[in-house]
Amino acid sequence: MNVNDYDFELPETLIAQTPLLDRSASRLLTLNKGSGEVGHHTFSDIVQYLQPGDTLVLNDTRVIPARLFGIKEDTGAKAEVLLLKQLEGDRWEALVKPGKKLKKGAVIVFGDELKAVIEEEGDMGGRVLSFSYEGIFQEILDRLGQMPLPPYIKEQLDDRERYQTVYARHEGSAAAPTAGLHFTEELLDRIREKGVSIAFVTLHVGLGTFRPMSVDTIEEHVMHEEYYSLSQETADVLNETKARGGRVVAVGTTSCRTLETVGNTFGDGLLQASSGWTQIFIYPGYEFRVVDAMITNFHLPKSTLVMLVSALAGRENIMHAYQEAIDQEYRFFSFGDAMFIY
């Protein structure tokens, strides 16, 4: 399959730069994966599309202020570091800029509190860094770091919490699970009152989110590893949902990838608690084991995420729905509007 089959023209004016004042006031495009029928709503209308007996699965990862700005110790040149994955202790996988000038052995200083040495070089700006400091790393990061907004967002974010879901708990993500940004506590309460269960998984979004596909053929692409965790409590809820004929509704591609990773681990048996690293790449032809429906934002052209939603709804349905969203001037990407595939 060709990557270019998932390309589309997106006017730059439709890339959302700031979050809405009211999280749940974003627009919602509904897509029936069977008929291809498209509908236009407000996100809070999602309650109408969820049925008693369904389970909504949320990714409760919390974004860390992973973008650091410093200087090279020997030259004073500016350096930028984006933390992606903690390896062990104070060693981190990261992206650096400018990649050509930050070689193995280079030392980057961030004010008076933090210093990093580049230990290993990877491709496309990837590095392994070792940090030294006095005190508690997370507290230093809170003071010095900035939220790692995607490069297509040019506006400053005044309130860090607007790039967190209201249910974010477990720190470790380099990007927000953006489909969850539309939920408020009030909306979640309304969903529970309707008889819909809410369950949580954790997937810390990592390197794959920031890397474009560099191959022409989809099957050649290799996803980077991301850490996931699914508790026995969530496994029990999902098993009960399936047993009673309810739907498992994934909120976001990250929840979807976690659920399908666990589903593949246990095959046709009951789901159990599971954690580890996943490289799952879902594209058309994939057979879903766990996920029946999904809430998701609108994704970048030729991205693995467009391929994932196409696997669930069909490529033609997705490309038609995306064109409809463009024609109707929906807001795209992280702070943009949402889609419900059912």
Same domain, 139 and 178: no
Q: What is the pLDDT of residues 50-60, one digit of tens each?
A: 999 999 999 99
Which range is least confidently modeled, 9-23, 200-214, 264-278? 200-214
The vertex-185 CA angle with 189 and 308, nearest 5°, equals: 95
pLDDT of residue 206: 86
Q: In which band, very low, low, confident or very high, does the pLDDT at 212 lie, cut at 50, 70 and 90? A: confident
Q: CA 236 to CA 283: how far, in whole Å?
A: 28
> Are the CB atoms for 301 and 6 separated by under 8 Å?
yes
Same domain, 241 and 319: yes
Which H/E stretch holds residue 268?
Answer: none
Within-domain flag for 152:
no
CATH code of the domain containing 88: 2.40.10.240
Same domain, 51 and 186: yes
Closest CA to 260 of 321, 208, 325, 311: 311
Q: How many residues belong to the chain?
A: 342
pTM of the model: 0.94
CATH code of the domain containing 49: 3.40.1780.10
pLDDT of residue 109: 98
The dihedral sign for the CA sequence 2, 313, 326, 338: negative
Joined together, the tokens standing for residue 329 give 């001037």
Which H/E stretch holds residue 198?
Answer: strand 197-203
Within-domain flag for 136:
yes
Q: Note down the domain range covering 97.
A: 67-146
pLDDT of residue 125: 79
Same domain, 234 and 274: yes
Say which residue, 151 or 338, is predicted with more confidence. Answer: 338
Q: Please compute the mean of the pLDDT values over residues 61-67 and round it to a whole number.
A: 96
Joined together, the tokens standing for residue 305 give 């995420």
Same domain, 205 and 299: yes
Helices (H) and strands (E) in the chain, counts: 7, 17
Within-domain flag for 176:
yes
- Could you tell me which residues come within 8 angstroms of residue 139 by beta carbon, excluding any fewer than 6 positions away? none
Same domain, 169 and 227: yes
Same domain, 251 and 139: no
Same domain, 207 and 282: yes
% the chain with pLDDT above 90: 93
Closest CA to 170 of 58, 277, 62, 275: 62
Q: Please compute the mean of the pLDDT values over residues 73-101 and round it to a whole number.
A: 94
> Are the CB atoms for 59 and 219 separated by under 8 Å?
no
DSSP symbols for 139-206: HHHHHH-B----TT--S--S-GGGGS-TT--EEEESS--GGGGG--HHHHHHHHHTT-EEEEEEE---
| Statement: residue 124 has pLDDT above 90 | no
Residue 201, Ramachandran bin (φ over 0: left; ψ between -120 and 50: alpha; else beta): beta
pLDDT of residue 208: 73
Q: Please compute the mean of the pLDDT values over residues 67-73 and round it to a whole number.
A: 97
Final residue belonging to a domain, choices 146, 178, 201: 146
Q: Please compute the mean of the pLDDT values over residues 97-125 and round it to a whole number.
A: 93
Largest Cα–Cα separation, the chain:
65
Q: CA 22 to CA 39: how far, in whole Å?
A: 21
**Mean of all residue pLDDT scores within the chain:** 96
> Is it true that the peptide bond before 98 is cis, omega within 30 degrees of 0?
yes
Within-domain flag for 151:
no
Within-domain flag for 153:
no
Q: In what order do the strands lie in the sheet with 38-42?
A: 38-42, 27-31, 338-341, 293-297, 248-251, 55-59, 197-203, 226-230, 274-278
pLDDT of residue 210: 63
Strand-pairing partners, residue 200, are 58
Within-domain flag for 271:
yes
3-class SS of residue 103: coil
Q: Please compute the mean of the pLDDT values over residues 178-188 and round it to a whole number.
A: 98
Same domain, 74 and 11: no
Q: CA 239 to CA 235: how far, in whole Å?
A: 6
Final residue belonging to a domain, choices 112, 146, 180: 146
Within-domain flag for 202:
yes
Same domain, 109 and 40: no
> Are the CB atoms for 37 and 54 separated by under 8 Å?
no
> Are the CB atoms for 90 and 57 separated by under 8 Å?
no
Same domain, 103 and 225: no
Within-domain flag for 234:
yes
**Domain count of the chain?**
2
Q: CA 289 to CA 209: how far, in whole Å?
A: 24
Q: CA 324 to CA 258: how far, in whole Å?
A: 29
Same domain, 52 and 94: no
- Could you tell me which residues come within 8 angstroms of residue 246 by beta carbon, excluding any fewer than 6 positions away? 51, 53, 54, 55, 197
Closest CA to 224 of 277, 301, 265: 277
